[in-house]
C-alpha cells in the first residue's frame, strides 16, 4: 500500500468502487471529486468517514449510491466545461484574429507565441492541481482546468494558423471532402450527402451538422467556419475530458491525465477534428463503460449480479449516450468502442463464471450465481447498445432505410486503402522520444495493474482491441479490403499515455518512499516533459500547417501572400453560373474535376472526388462509365439525348479545364491494392459538341464553363 500523503485530502466515492489500494469512503465529492457514473482509481484516500476532496458533507453509508444532487452536480460540471471551453476558445481565436501575423512557413513568430501560450496554459493547470491538493478553490478548480485545457488546444492549433482562414491541410487531400461536407450542412440542416443530390448521407453527419449550425450562427460560409469549428469543438472536448478525469481521480491526477491525452491527440489526430473529439472524450468514457458493464463492485471483486440492484444505470446511460454520439460522428471509432465493449463483457462473463466456483457452496447456488452474473453483464451490454443505437439512428436512419428498400448501390470503396503503416502493428512504446517513454510506462503499468484497477482494465482491453482490430484488418486484405486500422493509432497512443500518467504516479510514490520527499523534483520533471512534448506539436504538423498557407482559399487568396492558384477564378465562375442558370446554387448539378469548387460553394456534384469518399448509393463506377460515354458524343444531339436518359439527375453545369485536345476532366479510379490506391485519368470532350444554342460556353483563365440552357 502506498504511504499516505498528508498534504492530500482523502477522496470519496458515491457508491462506485475505489481501486484495490484505495480506501472505502463512499460520499460523493464536490467539484474535484468522483463522478457518480465512473469508478474512482486506486489513489483515493484511506479514511472511511471523511469530507470530499474540497470539503463538503460527510460520507454517506457505503452502497447508497449517488443521489439526484450528485448526478446534478456531475451534469452541471460538464455544462460548465462546455460553456467555459467554448468561450475561452472563441475569445482566444478572436484575439488571434485581431493581428495580421506573418505566415507560419516564412516566420517563427507564430511558433514562438504558440510555445508561450502553451506554457501559460500548463502553468494554470499546475495552479489548479495545487489548489486541489491543498483543499482550496472548490469552485475555481474545475473552471480553471476547463479554461486552461481549452486555451491549450486553441493556442496550439489556432496560433500557428493565425494568418490563414484555412484549417490543417487547407483544401487538399482529405480536408477537401470534409470541407465539402461542412459546406453542404451549412447550406441546409437537412441530412444529405456531401456531393450527390437526393441521397442520404453515408458518412456520419453529426460533427458536420453541428458545424453547419455553428457556421450559420457566425454568418460565415462553411469552408471559412471549418477552422474555427474544428478548433472550438476540440477545445470543448478537451475541457470535457479533463473534467471527466477530475471527477474520477481528483484534480491533481485529472489535469495530468487531461493534458497527456490532449497533447498526444493534437499530435496524432488534429487534422481529423471529429476523430480527435472522440479520442479526447473516449479515453475517460471507456473507464465509465467498464464500470457500467461490471456493476457496482471493485475491480478486484469482479462483476456482480443480478441485473437490477447491482447495476449503475447512470454509468450505463452515459456509456450508451457516448457510443451513440460516436456512431453519429465516426463509424470506424465506433466499431472500435463497440468491440471494446464486447470484449469487456466477455471478460466479465468469464471472470464471473470462474469466480462463482466454490467447493463449500452447493451446485444450485453456483449455477444461480453464474446465471445472475452472465445475465447482468449481458443485460448491461444490451442496454448500452439500445441507447447508442437509438441515438445513432438520428443520423443513420435515412441511409439504412435506403439500403433496406433496395436502392441500387455500387462503386463505394471506402475500405480500399492500405498505406505502409497499415501493414504493421503500431508500437509507439518503442519510439526513442517522450511519446515512446510515456507509452512504455503506460503499457507496463497496465500489465501490472489490470487485475486490481478498473482504469487499468479499461485501458488494457482498449489497447488489446486496437491490436485485434489491426490484425483483423491485415487478414481482411486477403479478401480484397481492409478495416483502415491505421487510423486507430491516436486512440492507442492516447490510452497508453493516460496509463503512463498512472505509472508515473506509482513511480513517484516509490521515489518518495525510497528517497524521501522528492515531490517537487518529480513535479518539475513532469511539467518540463509536458512542455517539451507540447512545443513539438507545431513542428510535427508543419506540413499540414504549411498547406493551409499555400492553398488558395474561398476568397481567392493565399495566406502566405504568394500568387493565388487557379482557384482564384472560382468566385467569378460562381457568379457566372448564377447569372446564366438563374437558379440558386443548390438547384444546380455540376460535373467537374475541380472539387475544391464544391468545397467552397454548395453546388451538387454529379461525380465525387474518388470512389473512396463516394456514397455507395451514388454508384460511382457506373457514373464514371456514363461520363466516358458522354465524352464520346460527336454532336450536341447525342450528348443531350445521353444526358436526358441518365438514371441520375444529369449535370446542367460543366466546369472543364481547357487543353489543346479539348475540354478535359481529370478523374480518378480505384487501383487498390496498389499504394497509392488512386489512378488519375483524363476524359476529353470535343468543344464542337457544345457549339449549340442549347449550351452557353464561357472561358475564364484555365477553366471552361458550360451551362446547359
Predicted confidence at residue 237, as pLDDT, reads 98
Q: How many residues appear in the chain? A: 709
pLDDT band at 398 (very low <50, low <70, confident <90, very high): very high
| DSSP per residue, 297-332 | S-GGG-----HHHH--HHHHHHHHHHHHHHHTT-HH
SS3 sequence, 77-109? HHHHHHHHHHHHHHHHHHHHHCCCCCCHHHCCH
Kindly state the cell numbers that stand for 369: 450465481
- Please say whether the beta carbons of 685 and 662 come within 8 A: yes
Predicted confidence at residue 257, as pLDDT, reads 97
Cα separation, 147 vs 361, whole angstroms: 55
> pLDDT (tens digit, 9 = 90+) per residue, 501-539?
999 999 999 999 998 889 899 999 999 999 999 999 999
Kindly state the cell numbers that stand for 351: 471472470
Cα separation, 230 vs 328, whole angstroms: 17
pLDDT at residue 72 greater than cutoff 60: yes
| The most confident of 126-140, 211-225, 288-302, 510-524, by mean pLDDT | 211-225
Q: If you average pLDDT over every residue of the chain, what do you get?
A: 89
Kindly state the cell numbers that stand for 54: 474540497
Q: Report helix, strand or coil for 341.
A: helix
Which residues lie closer than 8 Å to 373 by C-beta, 6 or more apart? 303, 304, 305, 348, 349, 352, 353, 355, 356
Please state whether the predicted TM-score (pTM) of the whole model is above 0.85.
Answer: yes
Predicted confidence at residue 359, as pLDDT, reads 73
Kindly state the cell numbers that stand for 79: 455544462
Which residues lie closer than 8 Å to 17 by C-beta, 6 or more apart? 39, 40, 291, 296, 297, 298, 299, 301, 454
pLDDT at residue 1 greater than cutoff 70: no
Cα separation, 337 vs 330, whole angstroms: 11
Predicted confidence at residue 413, as pLDDT, reads 83
Sign of torsion over alpha carbons 615, 617, 618, 624:
positive
Amino acid at each position: 500500500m502506498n504511504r499516505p500523503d498528508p498534504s492530500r485530502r482523502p477522496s470519496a466515492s458515491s457508491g462506485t468502487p475505489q481501486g484495490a489500494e484505495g480506501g472505502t469512503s463512499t460520499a460523493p465529492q464536490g467539484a474535484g471529486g468522483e463522478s457518480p457514473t465512473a469508478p474512482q482509481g486506486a489513489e483515493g484516500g484511506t479514511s472511511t468517514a471523511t469530507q470530499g476532496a474540497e470539503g463538503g458533507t460527510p460520507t454517506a453509508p457505503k452502497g447508497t449510491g449517488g443521489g439526484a444532487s450528485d448526478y446534478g452536480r456531475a451534469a452541471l460540471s460538464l455544462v460548465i466545461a462546455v460553456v467555459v471551453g467554448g468561450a475561452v476558445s472563441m475569445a482566444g481565436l478572436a484575439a488571434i484574429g485581431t493581428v495580421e501575423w506573418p505566415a507560419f512557413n516564412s516566420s517563427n513568430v507564430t511558433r514562438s507565441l504558440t510555445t508561450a501560450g502553451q506554457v501559460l496554459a500548463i502553468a494554470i493547470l499546475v495552479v489548479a492541481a495545487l489548489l486541489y491538493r491543498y483543499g482550496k478553490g472548490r469552485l475555481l478548480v474545475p473552471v480553471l482546468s476547463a479554461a486552461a485545457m481549452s486555451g491549450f488546444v486553441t493556442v496550439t492549433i489556432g496560433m500557428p494558423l493565425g494568418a490563414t482562414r484555412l484549417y490543417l491541410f487547407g483544401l487538399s487531400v482529405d480536408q477537401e471532402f470534409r470541407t465539402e461536407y461542412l459546406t453542404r450542412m451549412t447550406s441546409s440542416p437537412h441530412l444529405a450527402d456531401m456531393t450527390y443530390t437526393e441521397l442520404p448521407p453515408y458518412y456520419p453527419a453529426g460533427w458536420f451538422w453541428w458545424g453547419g449550425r455553428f457556421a450559420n450562427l457566425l454568418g460565415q460560409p462553411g469552408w471559412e467556419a471549418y477552422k474555427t469549428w474544428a478548433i472550438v469543438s476540440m477545445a470543448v472536448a478537451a475541457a470535457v475530458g479533463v473534467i471527466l478525469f477530475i471527477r474520477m481521480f481528483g484534480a491533481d491526477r485529472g489535469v495530468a491525465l487531461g493534458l497527456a491525452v490532449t497533447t498526444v491527440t493534437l499530435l496524432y489526430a488534429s487534422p481529423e477534428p471529429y476523430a480527435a473529439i472522440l479520442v479526447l472524450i473516449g479515453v475517460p468514457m471507456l473507464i465509465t463503460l467498464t464500470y457500467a458493464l461490471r456493476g457496482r463492485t471493485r475491480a478486484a471483486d469482479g462483476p456482480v449480479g443480478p441485473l437490477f440492484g447491482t447495476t449503475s444505470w447512470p454509468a450505463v446511460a452515459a456509456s450508451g449516450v457516448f457510443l451513440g454520439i460516436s456512431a453519429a460522428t465516426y463509424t470506424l471509432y465506433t466499431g472500435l468502442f463497440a468491440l471494446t465493449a464486447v470484449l469487456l463483457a466477455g471478460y466479465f462473463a468469464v471472470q464471473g463464471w470462474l469466480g462463482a466456483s466454490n467447493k463449500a457452496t452447493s451446485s444450485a447456488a453456483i449455477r444461480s450465481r453464474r446465471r445472475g452474473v452472465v445475465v447482468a453483464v449481458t443485460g448491461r451490454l444490451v442496454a448500452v447498445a439500445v441507447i447508442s443505437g437509438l441515438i445513432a439512428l438520428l443520423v443513420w436512419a435515412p441511409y439504412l432505410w435506403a439500403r433496406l428498400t433496395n436502392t441500387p448501390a455500387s462503386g463505394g470503396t471506402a475500405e480500399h486503402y492500405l498505406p505502409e503503416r497499415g501493414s504493421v502493428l503500431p508500437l509507439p512504446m518503442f519510439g526513442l522520444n517522450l511519446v515512446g517513454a510515456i507509452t512504455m510506462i503506460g503499457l507496463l503499468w497496465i500489465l501490472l495493474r489490470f487485475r486490481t484497477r478498473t482504469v487499468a482494465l479499461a485501458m488494457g482491453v482498449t489497447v488489446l482491441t486496437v491490436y485485434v482490430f489491426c490484425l483483423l484488418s491485415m487478414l481482411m486484405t486477403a479478401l480484397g479490403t481492409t478495416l483502415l486500422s491505421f487510423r486507430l493509432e491516436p486512440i492507442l497512443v492516447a490510452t497508453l499515455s493516460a496509463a503512463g500518467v498512472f505509472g508515473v504516479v506509482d513511480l513517484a510514490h516509490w521515489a518518495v518512499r525510497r528517497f524521501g520527499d522528492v515531490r517537487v523534483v518529480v513535479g518539475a520533471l513532469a511539467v518540463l516533459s509536458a512542455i517539451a512534448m507540447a512545443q513539438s506539436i507545431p513542428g510535427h504538423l508543419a506540413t499540414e500547417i504549411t498547406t493551409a498557407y499555400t492553398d488558395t482559399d474561398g476568397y481567392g487568396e493565399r495566406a502566405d501572400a504568394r500568387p493565388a492558384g487557379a482557384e482564384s477564378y472560382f468566385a467569378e465562375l460562381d457568379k457566372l453560373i448564377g447569372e446564366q442558370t438563374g437558379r440558386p446554387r443548390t438547384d444546380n448539378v455540376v460535373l467537374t474535376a475541380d472539387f475544391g469548387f464544391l468545397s467552397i460553394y454548395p453546388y451538387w456534384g454529379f461525380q465525387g472526388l474518388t470512389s473512396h469518399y463516394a456514397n455507395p448509393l451514388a454508384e460511382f463506377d457506373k457514373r464514371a462509365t456514363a461520363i466516358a460515354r458522354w465524352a464520346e458524343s460527336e454532336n450536341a444531339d447525342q450528348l443531350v439525348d445521353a444526358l436526358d436518359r441518365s438514371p441520375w439527375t444529369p449535370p446542367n453545369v460543366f466546369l472543364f479545364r481547357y487543353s489543346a485536345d479539348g475540354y478535359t476532366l481529370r478523374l480518378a479510379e480505384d487501383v487498390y491494392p496498389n499504394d497509392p490506391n488512386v489512378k488519375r485519368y483524363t476524359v476529353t470532350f470535343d468543344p464542337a459538341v457544345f457549339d449549340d444554342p442549347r449550351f452557353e460556353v464561357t472561358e475564364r483563365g484555365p477553366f471552361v464553363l458550360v451551362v446547359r440552357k
